[in-house]
Structures are given as structure tokens and as C-alpha cells.
Homo-oligomer: A and B are copies of this chain.
């Protein structure tokens, strides 16, 4: 039987539910799990609500003070699913208390804050992961594996757009529209995912030429961002995100055009990868690959081919990956996003804001850690 690891969860709403569900499923769907998650405690602002969440998801105790998680000796993994302004302090404190840490994206509200989190946590030597869960979609991992295997050749274009439409309601009240709590709008919430996928699939972004725009009169944060981008390896493309794309509910769409193949993806049909190969077949065309075969990524955990999975499963894959890293079976990188990756996405987000304000293409300079810690 695998060893157990105590989980301390910050946040009980959207991400709290997604992560808690994942921890529970890992225990029996990924078999045997690298470590068996023991749900020790959950923290949140409202005492009654967090107690209810503990009962629901099976945490042994609940608290309104995240410091209780940090000081809890039974917790080995601190998972931060709180709002953005609560990413830095608790995550750093948990790491400095020797706990492995997972933090929801965006890592910090700015590049500076993100770098601070990364560098402080890296210095502790714990394992860390920024929860860019879309890396853990089977179709996305398959794309990455095809790229790594040289099946695409030189990449010329990457275009990505993350489109949602729930933002067009002036009456909505959520921390996601509060500048201090969220830091930004579509930028940190949606574009950060798009940026990380760009980095995961095509490599470092070298420059951005961006427009960051707020449409609704009294909104404190941006509604949309549009950017033309260059990659260090030579590809060019676009990155877009918006909360005002009517009819698009969770449309994280991307396309790669390369010398030997093109790939395309849409999160609303997350079980499919579009693949075009220049293989000389007279019957040429994009294949709709249903990524659910026994030799496809993550599929050893699931069902017979063709029996598709859902959005929630990306967290099962992600947290299973982190548990494996903690157990020493593999590294967080390169398949998982480390806090360095979280920081790098934030650097791009900041550059987009500067580009939008200054009307200039912004070359990206990524900071390194002083020591060789990672």
C-alpha cells in the first residue's frame, strides 16, 4: 500500500471543489496512487461554509485561518485554491514550514509578486507546482509528446484564444472583478492559461504586442486582451483572451502549424485533437483524434477507448502528477508547471499591459534565481 500524505486545502469554492474531488478520486482511480491523499484540513473565510465543505469532501477539520494549515504537522501538502491576493503569503509560509505546495494560477498578481513566491519557495527545497491544469488534458499532453518526438518539425505558428462570455453582466459581484484581490481580469484568469500552453508547446515567448481592454464602464479589471507574439524559436502567432465572447463558454482553442504537421484543439471538445500530417496520402486532411486509446496519455486510469472524460479529470491527472513528484517517481517539470513557469506567465502578462499602455512591442526578459535552485 502506498504511503499517505496529509492535504491542507485553502479555498472551498470552485477550485476547492475541483481539487478536493481530484484528491478523492486519485485514491482509487489512479491505482496504486503514488501517495494516498489524506484530507486533513480545509481553510476558508466563512466558518459555517468551510465546516460544511469539510463535511462534504471529507476533510477531518476546518478552519478560518490558513495559518492553522501551515502549522499543522499532519499536513504534508498545502494546496492553495484561494483568490489571487491570497496566493503569496500562505504559499510561502507553507513552503517555509516544509510543506510541498500547489498554487492555483495566476501564481501572483504581478511578475514581481510571482517572482517573490517562486524564489522564496524554491529556496526551501519543497516541491512546487502552479496549477495550469490544461497541461493535463490528454490531447494537450499527446500534442506535447508528438512535438517532443519530432513529429511536427519546425513550428511556424501558434495561435491560441481563451474565450468565455460570462463577463458581460454589470451586476456580477465576485472577487474576480476586484482589482486588488484579482490583480487583473481576463489577463490573469484566462490569458495566463493560454500563455502557459504556448510555453508548454512552443517554448519561450520572446516578445508581445498587445492590447488590453476593459469594455464595461465600471469594471476595475480588464475584459479582454489581444496580442501578436514572437517565440524565441522563431514561430509567430497570437494570444487572445476575453470574457465577452458571446456563446463561447470555455473555449480554450489553439492551433499549431509546423513543417510536418498541424494540430488544433478546443477545450469545449477536450477529448479531441485535430491532427494534419504531411504524409503524402492522397486522402489528406485533419484527423479528429478521439484521445482515449489505451496508448494515449493518462488513459491507463480510465475507461475503454471512446468513453470520454471531463474537465474535472484534468485535476486528477495534475494532482496525481504532483503526488508522484513528491514521492520521487518523476519531476514536476517538464510536464507539470513549476512556480518558475508560473512566474514566467506573469512576466508575459505584465509585458502585455506595458505594451498596451506604451504602444510598443515588448521584448521579454525573464529573471533567473540567484542560486541554481529551481
Which A residues contact B (CB, under 8 angstroms)?
1, 14, 18, 20-21, 24-25, 28-29, 31, 55-58, 142, 146, 156-157, 159, 161, 163-166, 168, 209-211, 213, 215, 223-224, 226-230, 234, 236-238, 240, 242, 244-251, 255, 257-262, 268-273, 275-278, 281-290, 292-293, 295-296, 302-313, 355, 359-361
The answer on a CB contact under 8 Å between A242 and B275 is: no
The answer on a CB contact under 8 Å between A287 and B284 is: yes
A284-B287, A312-B309, A360-B361 as given contacts; A28 in contact with B58, CB under 8 Å: yes
The answer on a CB contact under 8 Å between B236 and A213 is: yes
| Bound CA–CA A289/B270 (angstroms) | 16
* Known A21-B29, A270-B308; further 16 A-B contacts with Cβ < 8 A: A25-B25, A28-B56, A157-B242, A209-B359, A211-B236, A226-B238, A227-B228, A246-B261, A246-B278, A247-B276, A250-B308, A269-B269, A287-B288, A307-B310, A309-B310, A310-B312
Question: Of B159, B228, B310, which one neighbours A310 at CB under 8 angstroms?
Answer: B310
The answer on a CB contact under 8 Å between B283 and A146 is: yes
Nearest-CB residue, chain B, relative to A237: B226
Q: Which residues of B contact A228 (CB under 8 A)?
A: 209-211, 226-228, 238
The answer on a CB contact under 8 Å between B247 and A286 is: yes
| Bound CA–CA A228/B261 (angstroms) | 26
Question: Of B156, B250, B260, B295, which one neighbours A282 at CB under 8 angstroms?
Answer: B295
Q: Which residues of B contact A292 (CB under 8 A)?
A: 249
The answer on a CB contact under 8 Å between A240 and B159 is: yes
Q: Which residues of B contact A234 (CB under 8 A)?
A: 215
* CB<8 Å pairs between A and B, sample of 8: A21-B28, A226-B237, A245-B255, A246-B278, A303-B311, A303-B312, A359-B361, A360-B361
Q: Which residues of B contact A355 (CB under 8 A)?
A: 209
The answer on a CB contact under 8 Å between A284 and B28 is: no
The answer on a CB contact under 8 Å between B286 and A244 is: no
Copies in the complex: 4
The answer on a CB contact under 8 Å between B156 and A244 is: yes
Nearest Cβ on chain B to A113's Cβ, whole angstroms = 26
The answer on a CB contact under 8 Å between B305 and A250 is: yes
| Bound CA–CA A230/B359 (angstroms) | 12
| Bound CA–CA A230/B228 (angstroms) | 13
| Bound CA–CA A14/B164 (angstroms) | 36
Enumerate the 7 nearest inter-chain pairs by beta-carbon distance, A residue then B residue, closest first: A249-B306, A247-B276, A250-B306, A309-B310, A209-B209, A310-B310, A285-B287
Nearest Cβ on chain B to A363's Cβ, whole angstroms = 9
A226-B236, A262-B247, A268-B306 as given contacts; A282 in contact with B293, CB under 8 Å: yes
Nearest Cβ on chain B to A14's Cβ, whole angstroms = 7
The answer on a CB contact under 8 Å between B305 and A249 is: yes
Nearest Cβ on chain B to A314's Cβ, whole angstroms = 10
A209-B211, A304-B14, A310-B313 as given contacts; A246 in contact with B270, CB under 8 Å: no
